[in-house]
Amino acid sequence: MSCFFHFVLVASSALPISSLFPFLYFMIRDLHIAKREEDINFYAGYVGASYMLGRTLTSMFWGVVADRYGRKPVIFIGIITVVVFNTIFGLSVNYWMAICTRFLLGALNGLLGPVKAYASEIFRHEYQAVALSSISTSWAIGLIIGPALGGFLAQPAEKYPAIFSPNSIFGRFPYFLPCLFISLFALIGAVCCFWLPVSLQFIH
């Protein structure tokens, strides 16, 4: 059961990283920040990089917090961050809103390091290599499925007009559906956090 929880948690954190790339060009185009079509890639690059910039600046901080207060709180905060800011990103109405939500999504999600430490603490010594390998597998699966979801679910009112009306929220926010789908999956991960046992390091 712990392996399943780890899969959901790690995949939830990995999905938002790559899910935007299939539709990012069109999103920047629709936000009308670029004066020329040739400039769209320039602005898209900053949106794509803002997530990792946030993670770069705060990953050490979240590691310190996890060492001091426990792994579960940091993991839970990271998953809730995906639920909140990934959803808001899908509702972006301007370029700076998109950049800020992606930055905060990365900055407040320090899950990967603590979840590896957590796995090494709750699994028996002979299973630690398998546990850590399963985290890498979950991460890779999230990075694979993310772009597939982004490409399949973006602009649903244009692709699936029989299901999604142009006047619906998915018509007015054409990139909201893939973000919502991932956020709902992350919400499952947030619920799973309540069943995670406390790691041995924090049992007194």
Q: What is the DSSP track for 44-97?
A: HHHHHHHHHHHHHHHHHHHHHHHHHH-HHHHHHHHHHHIIIIIHHHHT--SHHH
Instruction: Domains for the chain: give ranges and CATH numbers.
Output: 2-199 (1.20.1250.20)
Rounded distance between C-alpha atoms, residue 21 and residue 34, angstroms: 17
User: Which pLDDT score, from 0 to 100, does residue 203 have?
Assistant: 46
Q: List, in order, residues 6 or more apart from 38 with CB less than 8 Å away.
A: none
Average pLDDT, the chain: 90
Q: At 193, is the pLDDT very low, low, confident or very high (cuts 50, 70, 90)?
A: confident
Structure pTM? 0.90
118-150 pLDDT, tens per residue?
A: 888 877 777 778 878 888 899 999 999 999 999
User: Which pLDDT score, from 0 to 100, does residue 160 have?
Assistant: 93
Q: At 1, is the pLDDT very low, low, confident or very high (cuts 50, 70, 90)?
A: low
What is the three-class DSSP state of 161?
coil
Please check the confidence at residue 152 and state whether its pLDDT lies above 80. Answer: yes
In the numeric block, the tokens 């991960």 are attached to 189
Q: How many CA atoms lie within 13 A of 104 on its CB side?
A: 17
Q: How many CA atoms lie within 13 A of 18 on its CB side?
A: 14
